Amino acid sequence: DNINIAWVPGAFEIPSAVKIMAESKKYNAIVCLGAVIKGDSSHNQYIASETIKGVAKISLDFNIPVSFGVITPDSLEQAIERAGTKRGNKGWGAALSAIEMANLFIELKS
């Protein structure tokens, strides 16, 4: 009940969804999850970089913790490994970070 999920078509669209969520003031924290998988060009680097910048700006502008769990694997196999198989679960880590930061923000504001 306390978790809302917003699906976006790609990583580049994450910041705009995060901004709407932050503007609503309904959330104590926002967790961004995804994978920008490397292709034949450097396009993935630009997408990942702009996504990070956008999310960080929203976090600062709206004073809300935004945890970034968007990974940049070299392959689909590597992405699956980082989603809870061989190399931990990056989404779980991002969620824990969001909870910790939400609690810290509440403490600092009181």
**Catalytically annotated residue among 16, 43, 74, 92:** 43
Query: Closest Cα to residue 30, out of 40, 45, 19, 42?
Result: 19
29: tokens are 């924290």
Question: Known catalytic residue: 53?
Answer: no
Nearest-10 Cα torsion for 91, 106, 15, 67: -20
DSSP letter (8 states) at residue 60: H
Indicate which residues carry an active-site annotation.
43
